[in-house]
Chains A and B, each alone.
Chain A
Amino acid sequence: MTFEDAAERHLDDVYGYLSWFTGDASLAEDLAAETFERALRLWHRFDPVRGSARTWLCQLARTVALDHFRSERRRTRRERLVAPPERFDEAFGEGLAPDLEAALAHLSADEREVVALRVLLDLDAASAASVLGISPTNCTTRLSRALKKLEEELNVAA
């Protein structure tokens, strides 16, 4: 697979994962572009034997997002500004029901990203766990907790 193929095939996945992880569509857009720029530089390190291009790109996307949040935290601390509240408008896909979107906003970033990887991108437990840097068991537990929380939020709303 060439880099161009991988970029074309997995752009939606990377963008979707970042949208859910960050809860901010426009930030996800910038981070996705940064992810592919970094992926291009590191493409020679991608090893298909160790995992799919999609998993590798999601791992890279996560690193890019975490780097961004770290530098943002440093910047806001330096400027003594209060971080703006997270925005959730149209962050998780345009076709999502409003009550589901509201329920998603109650999940933590950790919970949102595990739902994104396991449900939205349909990655298996081992691949999602390798993206998150946790064990597959831990990943499954986190997913189950997140789905239960979502279900409860939706039942309360109903």
Chain B
Amino acid sequence: MSQRDLIAEIRAAPPAAPAPLRERVRAIAATGPDEAPAERRSPLLQRFSGHRLLRAAVPAAIAAAAAVVLSLVFTRGHGTTRSADSASAVAPKLAPSRTAGAAPSAESAAPEAAPLSATLAVQVATSAKVAAAAHRAELIATSLGGTATSVRIDTGARSGSATIVLHVPPGRAREALTRLVRLGTVTSEQASAQGGNGTVRFSVSTPR
């Protein structure tokens, strides 16, 4: 048998996924995000992905560091000082609250400086998706080094709801929120830095 025949024979019998596997994967996919990853990415990031972004960022970082060093040397020479307040003034501020289906802002992807506590409610289409979203919320907490301290799921044939209290390391609450908002359509979201301890109260429900 020649290699050409061999290739033709292999291509003639591609393995097809068995029906139970197909069902399993469809169930997994049904809990998934509806939007394409490219739609979530900014045009700038799409243009400068991976190494290209790195190549642009490294010289920019070096230039910025040099500028800071030069400005420090310059200000010391003139006897002026920088107060801690001026540094905190440029630190990103936390949004106190957002409601009614607001899309996740770019802020929520930024690394947080202060511990955070948050409440987030999302809506999904079916009761099956409620259970799946609750399960994924637990996975998100675990993957960030936290736990789900309380899980309450109440699903019927057509509607359902679930409430999960997640505890994540205080510095990772914002990251948890960024991932949780992808589990459904956000109906309300509140984040507070005051007395924040990394607790995220996540609820998911079907439309009434």
Contact = CB atoms under 8 A, between A and B. Distances in A.
Interface of A: 1-4, 7-8, 11-12, 15-16, 19-20, 25, 28-29, 32-33, 36-37, 40-41, 43-50, 92-97, 100, 115, 119-120, 122, 147-148, 150-151, 154-155, 158
B13 to A, nearest CB: 3
Interface of B: 1-3, 6-7, 9-18, 20-22, 24-26, 28-38, 40-41, 46, 49-50, 136, 139, 143, 182
A100 B5 CA distance: 11
Contacts of A43: 32-33, 37
Nearest to A42: B37
B13 A94 contact: yes
A151 B3 contact: yes
A5 B143 CA distance: 26
Contact of B34 (A2, A15, A37): A2
Of B15, B49, B50, B139, most A-chain CB atoms within 10 Å: B15
Contacts of A4: 26, 29-30, 32, 34
Given A15-B17, A33-B28, A147-B3, A120 B10 contact: yes
Nearest to B7: A119
A143 B26 CA distance: 33
Given A12-B17, A120-B11, A154-B6, A46 B37 contact: yes
29 contacts: A2-B32, A2-B34, A8-B26, A11-B21, A12-B15, A12-B17, A15-B15, A15-B21, A16-B14, A33-B25, A33-B28, A36-B25, A40-B28, A40-B29, A41-B139, A43-B33, A44-B182, A47-B49, A47-B50, A92-B15, A95-B12, A100-B9, A115-B10, A119-B10, A119-B11, A120-B11, A120-B14, A147-B7, A154-B6
**Majority SS of interface residues in chain B?**
helix
B110 to A, nearest CB: 16
A97 B17 contact: no
B28 to A, nearest CB: 5
A22 B58 CA distance: 42
Contacts of A45: 37
B25 A11 contact: yes
Contacts, number: 125
Given A12-B14, A15-B15, A154-B1, A7 B6 contact: no
A119 B7 CA distance: 6
Contacts of B143: 41
Nearest to A90: B15
- CB-CB nearest 4 A-B residue pairs: A95-B13, A3-B32, A7-B29, A15-B17
Contact of A32 (B17, B30, B31, B35): B17
Of B11, B13, B25, most A-chain CB atoms within 10 Å: B25
Nearest to A147: B3
A139 B56 CA distance: 31
Contact of B14 (A1, A41, A49, A93): A93
